[in-house]
Amino acid sequence: MQRMQNSLKAFSQLITLGRFKEAQECLNKHSEDIRHYFPEDHPATYSLINNQALLYKLNGQFMEAKIMFQRVNDSYTKLYGENHPSSINSLINLATVHKDLQEHDQAIPLYEKALIGRKITEGENSVAYCMVLAMASGSYREIGKFDVAEKYIKEAFVTIASEYGEDSIPAAVVLNSMGMLYKRQQKYERSLDAYDRALAIREKEMGEGHPDTIAVRHNIAELYITWVKPDKAQEYLQKNIEIMEKKSQQEKEILSQGADLKETNFV
């Protein structure tokens, strides 16, 4: 059991680092243990399928991910009922992969169902509920229902700001989505304000090189491109390039040091 727990921890760390090939190898080994100790209808097996679906999604294999997320959601719902946290989480995963596939007409009902579940289990003042509001807002935005999208994203921000503070990491997530909405509506100054606030929070709380921070900076660059301000866009793109090159060099140095150490141990 300890080996399986360590395997899952390693899998999560590799996902966070973006080392998906190694994460797949780790998951393959974990799969052997799961299938040895647990039957197909055990929650541990569903968790394994969910992790494989997540990896497919991160690798852009959305159709494969959708099939597996649907299977996981059906299994958890049958086992625990619709409002169990595992059932709701799997429902959100399924909705998100529909969103990745631009199937917003299918994603929206799933998000709405997840909102009902979150309201029952977590409450309307929870981060979990507000995050689903932000996700649903994104799908409504993409189909041009800006009134609903804005209602949802504002509700999410007001709640997050009241319960956790305007400078919290959840607030940054909502502000980033708000920036996307205002950009789509061609409200460029309001979009920039939302993005700037999200960027300031993420730089302070997560660091300038965190993937989420880099993503907001990239969103600002895209906003400036749409706004026909290429010089400003280049500033943000160049900043990201410099950060990623620095991180890449650091990773190479770490790997090199590891190889040297391994060689010394053999001697």
pLDDT single digits (tens) 126-145: 999 999 999 999 999 999 99
In a domain, 158, yes or no: yes
pLDDT surpasses 80 at 87: yes
In a domain, 222, yes or no: yes
Domain count of the chain?
1
Q: The tokens of 44 are what?
A: 């541990």
Task: Give me the pLDDT at residue 262, please.
Answer: 39
Q: For the whole model, what pTM was predicted?
A: 0.86
In terms of C-beta density within 10 A (0-12 exposed, 13-18 middle, 19 or more buried), how is residue 157 classed?
Answer: buried
In a domain, 111, yes or no: no
Residue 28: CB atoms within 10 A of its CB come to: 10
Task: Give me the pLDDT at residue 13, please.
Answer: 83
Give the position of tokens 């309001």: 190
Give rounded-to-5 percent helix, strand, coil for the chain.
85, 0, 15
pLDDT surpasses 60 at 234: yes
Mean pLDDT for 104-132 is 97
Q: The tokens of 231 are what?
A: 């010089």
- Domain of 154, CATH number, reads 1.25.40.10
In a domain, 28, yes or no: no
In a domain, 203, yes or no: yes
Angle between helices 169-184 and 127-142 (to 10 degrees): 10
- Rounded to whole angstroms, the Cα distance separating 99 from 106 reads 8
Alpha-carbon dihedral of residues 82, 86, 89, 93, nearest 10 degrees?
-100
- Rounded to whole angstroms, the Cα distance separating 181 from 138 reads 8
In a domain, 196, yes or no: yes
In a domain, 256, yes or no: no
User: Which residue range(s) make up the domain with 158?
Assistant: 123-239
In a domain, 177, yes or no: yes
In tens, the pLDDT along 162-216 reads 999 999 999 999 999 999 999 999 999 999 999 999 999 999 999 999 989 999 9
| Average of per-residue pLDDT values in the chain | 91
